[in-house]
Amino acid sequence: MIRKVFAVAGVLAVFGLGAWLAGWFYQRQAEEVSRSQSVVLLEKVEKVCKLVTVEGNFTELYDESNIRKFTVYLPLPTTWSFSKQAILQVTGRVLVGYDMEGVNISLDSTRKQLLIRNLPEPEILAIDHQVQYKNLDESFFNSFTPEDYTRLNQNAKEVMRRKAEESGLMQEARQQGNQLLDVIRFMAESVGWTAVVEEPSGLRRPLD
């Protein structure tokens, strides 16, 4: 009878030890997976400090053509021309604003000044565009390649960039930025301080 009790106790002990080892191994595996996912997530996170003040929407037709010539010299010089043409409709959204990563703001308690350094100029922060091919006309000896489609997409994006630069988006973004500076100036003056912009030369000028 005692032997049976010890046998049962031994089986339960082995079973309990196996369950504990399985649980420990599973928990360790889960922790490793979680840690691995955290590392991957951390690698995908990038520090960004950008202020979008203006958004513009554009639609443009983009036309590009190419002619390839072949010359055969036998029996007489003869030249054939093979053309290809692409007409694209480019629609997209252009975000204009300020890259604030280099801006430095500090306090001069002696002079009661809020110091702002490295104020950036407005720039195009992002271009989100879509391309719709309206017409693709190609020849047997001059057809579109995957590299052509990549280049057309890049050129369409540059068209969108040029249109944004030629528009009044930059000036509007600058005006919006000045309004934000006015808010900072007002907040500083409301507590008896002065908002000051420090030039690269070290010269300080109050915000107008």
Identify the band that residue 70 occupies on the pLDDT scale cut at 50, 70 and 90: low
Cα(118)–Cα(105) distance, integer angstroms: 9
131 and 113 within one domain? yes
176 and 86 within one domain? yes
97: containing domain: 50-206
40 and 132 within one domain? no
78 and 177 within one domain? yes
27 and 104 within one domain? no
**Predicted TM-score (pTM) above 0.85:** no
Is the sign of the CA dihedral 32, 38, 42, 45 positive or negative?
Answer: positive
- Per-position DSSP letters for 106-175, written without gaps between them: EEETTTTEEEEE-PPPPEEEEEEEEEEEEEEE-BTTB---HHHHHHHHHHHHHHHHHHHHHTTHHHHHHH
86 and 158 within one domain? yes
Total domains in the chain come to: 2
pLDDT at site 128 = 92
Average confidence (pLDDT) over 169-188: 88
174 and 126 within one domain? yes
Identify the band that residue 142 occupies on the pLDDT scale cut at 50, 70 and 90: confident
pLDDT at 59 over 70: yes
